Chain A
């Protein structure tokens, strides 16, 4: 084994990122959504440049122009495909229609009419893979590009099958889904001319599911207590509902715990195969830290948004009143005050969304990214220096499909 170890660092601050998120959100609203491609790009540049290893920051090289163009092309394809497929699927839903006699049949028919969502499912996974490939193709460290192979359709049908299997196994095969899809993606990921490889076994993810199993047991117990409690047994009824509530909260925590701990397992079994040796990884994020950040940050963001909103509402109310006073009762034209009020309301609404979006990014998302990055270590970094540059990837649709189908996330 070679030598050298790098720990992840994160230097991003709240102030500059909030300013960036707030201004780009306002510009997006002013341009009826068009600026969002540039906005996302700028936020990514900031966050990427905040992450560093051994003092060398990551770099995001994507551009707003290519994202916008990719989106327009995706629009053409999706408008034609979705329009036609949705109409035909709905038509087949209709031709299968028979008279409903029970409420259950009625519900089944409503479901049959919503069959059109099937048209989007394969595209969503396709778009997710493509978005990942684009982001990797636009990420550099020490001047060398990351990259992913073209395999979006292969990912799409695998993701659908795994999802179906997990559903049919009542969630017991979730680790298999998580691991196989992570391996499919990791094994097609490159840094320069070095390929990543996901090692380990899917059964290795079962310990990560521990909290989910506990939650499941509590939920089942609650259901049993409710089922055996007679009509009059108030105590049992209360106990049953109490167990269900506890089980639900535990389940939510369990989901976060599963994501955090599976990240840990996957990172510890990830290898980068360089010409001069293997680079290995480790990550040890804490579930407690992530959950505390989500709750405390989310609360702080809501409180701050609330305070700011009340202030702005006061000012808007004052503007409205002043407008009314200036126009006066006699010269009052129906519609003018309404127009001022409506404009003020729209401005307030957009400002509020921009504000809370920025606060969530700064108080929840960024701290979680920072926490995860700081727990990452890279070993045998001596092998990194020999890794050579890879050819530039045009990035296909520059995640236009993900933007159109809205599977991209905040940035």
Chain B
């Protein structure tokens, strides 16, 4: 049996030892001897491991498998050989040469820690943060909340393209009076925490928002597309429902708390942005759908109390349904609002039980409201 030369590092000091390496095939071991070595090193072939993903193609760095507490279950000593024949023979003789040994129990640890991390994340996002947001939303002084709401509507205006604040405000004497009468009729006899401040914005979007502190914004497009004053009344009642439940404030608190938690879990890996976007959409939808359902219930009660026919609400939802088009069912989980069809059915069911209703606004007032942006 011939020998080849190599370099040996004993794992004790940073000194380099020149050694001769001999293969003892019968004993199944490599023998290392050298002038600077105290003892002959005998490395059993079945425990030999080679470093992987190595940049040097002409040499092989060897070490020994051992039950250490180390990260890699290997002894600290290293042997470097460059002899082509020996490298080839070792690759043939040692089946475990490129094995990546793992500490016993690693898989159990992975499963346990994954469950723990997923559980903690779910607990925070689904239970603790919503509860904290609910409690804190009640603690904010009303005047601060109104100031916050005004800044939200101001930002919304800027986002809709107002070059300076107030550019998009719709206001004229008759229109304002009609709107006031409508709000007064809805809120009459109700014990409300907030005085609703309704603002109509000149924009074609068919939508309305409830910002914190009673700030309600309605788009011109919604009034243009409404089948009658009852539809506008229903939307207003719905938004007042959000206001009373402090939904906007709670959502802002919740969003601030869970910001970045999902993207943290997914990391910045290739394609991760898509997964994070879908996840956040799903999460937000689950929050808001519940709030929408409760605001609907609030709106129906308000309409009943003020004697406004909820058929207008049903018509409005049917119209929304048409505008949305026929999306596949799965999209409901991603949508922030419950399905319009079921909301329309609920409003129609309620209308059947209503005994005495009168128009929400008289013809003249309704015409004035429709012309508020004119």
Contacts and interface: CB of A to CB of B under 8 A. Distances in A.
A56 B53 CA distance: 16
Contacts of B35: none
A388 B12 contact: yes
A371 B11 CA distance: 30
Interface in A16-73: 16, 20, 25-26, 28-29, 32-33, 36, 42-43, 45-47, 49-50, 56-57, 59, 61-63, 65-66, 68-69, 72-73
Contacts of B51: 45, 49, 59
A330 interface: no
Interface residues of B, number: 79
B13 A83 contact: no
A143 B267 CA distance: 33
Contact of A33 (B109, B150, B252, B269): B269
Contacts of B117: 72-73, 75-76, 79
A84 B133 CA distance: 10
Interface of B: 7, 9-16, 51-56, 61, 68-72, 74, 76-78, 80, 100, 102-103, 106, 109-110, 113-114, 116-117, 120-121, 124-125, 128-129, 132-133, 136, 139-141, 144-148, 150-151, 154-155, 249, 252-254, 256-261, 264-272, 274-275, 328
Contacts of B56: 11, 49, 57
Nearest to A59: B51
A11 B55 CA distance: 7
A72 B114 contact: yes
B267 A33 contact: yes
A84 B102 CA distance: 36
Contacts of A25: 269-270
B71 A350 contact: no
Contact of A36 (B141, B151, B253, B267): B267
Contact of A385 (B13, B120, B133, B148): B13
Q: Nearest 10 A-B pairs (CB), nearest first? A: A143-B9, A87-B257, A90-B256, A72-B113, A385-B15, A50-B55, A45-B53, A75-B117, A33-B269, A83-B124
Contacts of A395: 71
A76 B116 contact: yes
A192 interface: yes
Nearest to A141: B14
Contact of B121 (A49, A79, A91, A116): A79
A354 B270 contact: yes
B141 A95 contact: yes
A90 B257 contact: yes
A226 B109 CA distance: 63
Contacts of B12: 388-389
Contacts, number: 233
A336 B222 CA distance: 35
A102 to B, nearest CB: 10
Nearest to B8: A143
Contacts of A42: 52-53
B313 to A, nearest CB: 32
B10 A116 contact: no
Contact of A353 (B141, B271, B328): B271
Nearest to A395: B71
A116 B61 CA distance: 49
A388 B125 CA distance: 49
Contacts of B258: 83, 86
B261 A82 contact: yes
Contact of B139 (A91, A113, A116, A140): A91
A404 interface: yes
Contact of A49 (B54, B106, B148, B272): B54
Given A87-B253, A90-B253, A404 B77 contact: no
20 contacts: A12-B55, A25-B269, A25-B270, A33-B267, A42-B52, A45-B53, A46-B55, A47-B55, A63-B100, A69-B113, A72-B114, A86-B257, A86-B259, A141-B14, A143-B9, A144-B11, A353-B270, A384-B14, A385-B16, A388-B14
A309 B314 CA distance: 50
Interface in A332-352: 335, 346, 349-350
A261 interface: no
A59 B79 CA distance: 13
A57 B53 contact: no
B193 to A, nearest CB: 17
A29 B265 CA distance: 14
Given A83-B128, A192-B14, A389 B147 contact: no
Contacts of A110: 151, 155
Contact of B148 (A87, A94, A145, A389): A94
Contacts of A66: 71
B16 A142 contact: yes
B143 to A, nearest CB: 8
A95 B124 contact: no
Given A87-B253, A91-B139, A33 B148 contact: no
A50 B139 CA distance: 59
A138 to B, nearest CB: 7
A329 interface: no
Given A45-B52, A86-B259, A387 B151 contact: no
A103 to B, nearest CB: 8
